[in-house]
Amino acid sequence: MPNAKGGKKFKRGKKQSFHEKKLIYKDPKEDQEYGKVTRVMGNGRFEVQGFDGKDRLGILAGNMRKKVWVNKDDIILFCKWDFTTDDNKCSIIHKYDQDEVKKLQRDGEFPIHINLESGSEFNEYNDSDNMISFNYGPISDESEEDDESEEDDKKDDEDDEDDEDINLDDI
C-alpha cells in the first residue's frame, strides 16, 4: 500500500519512543547475576567477570544482537547456563546504562568490594608511591660539595679545549 502521508523518508524516525524505562533487577530463581565486561572477543562473545567472583564466557542473547552494543567495562545482567555441567558460560540478557548502574548501587544490589569506575590503565593522581616528586628545598652541604667538584671538572675541560685550540693554530 502506498504511503499517503509523506514522501520517501516519512517513516524514518518512527522507532523513537520516549517512555520511562523500567529498571530490571536480577532474578535468583532463574540463575541471573550481575557482571562486568572485561574483554570483547568478537562475534557476540565477551569475557565477563561476575560479581560472584567468577570469570565466564558471555554470549550475547539473540534479541540483543545488532540492537544493543556492549563494550568493555559495561555492567550487564547475565543468565547462567544450567544445562551444562561446567559453570563457564552464560548468556548476556541486559546491558545497564550509567544511571541505571548508579540506581542499582544505591539500592544495594552490588557487593561493596566491586569497583564500578572504568579502570584507567594509568596511575591515579593520589597514588604517591608511583609518582615522581621533585624537592626544591634548600641545598644540603653534601650536594654543595658535589656541585663544587662538578664545577672544577667543567673548568678543567674548558682549559683543555683552550690548549687544543692553541695547538691547532700553531700547526
The answer to whether position 123 is within a domain reads no
Sign of torsion, CA 52 55 57 58?
A: positive
Q: What is the per-residue pLDDT across 57-102, written as a single tens digit (0 to 9) for each?
A: 999 999 999 999 999 999 999 999 988 878 899 999 999 999 999 9
C-beta contacts of 81-86 below 8 A and 24+ residues apart: 82/31
Count of residues for the chain?
Answer: 171
Residues 80 and 144 reside in one and the same domain:
no
What sign has the CA pseudo-torsion 156, 158, 159, 164?
A: positive
The answer to whether residues 32 and 101 belong to one domain is yes
| Final residue of a structural domain among 106, 132, 151 | 106
User: Can you give the residue range of the structural domain that contains 155?
Assistant: 140-171
Same domain, 101 and 144: no
Confidence at residue 121, expressed as pLDDT on a 0 to 100 scale: 46
* pLDDT > 70 fraction of the chain, expressed in percent and rounded: 60
Among 52, 87, 106, residue at a domain's last position: 106
As for how many domains the chain has, the answer is 2
Contact between 95 and 67 under an 8 Å Cβ cutoff? The reply is no
The pairing of strands 55-60 and 89-95 is parallel
Query: Same domain for 146 and 94?
Result: no
- Cβ–Cβ under 8 Å, residues 79 and 32: yes
pLDDT score recorded for residue 148: 57
Domain-embedded: residue 47: yes
40 and 93 co-located in one domain:
yes
SS3 state of residue 73:
coil
Summarised one tens digit per residue, pLDDT across range 101-159 is 999 999 999 988 877 775 544 445 555 556 666 677 776 655 555 555 555 565 555 55
Q: Angle at Cα 65 formed by Cα 60 and Cα 70, nearest 5°?
A: 60
* Cα Rg of the chain, angstroms: 33
Cell of 36: 562486568
pTM assigned to the model: 0.59
Residue at 32 is within a domain? yes
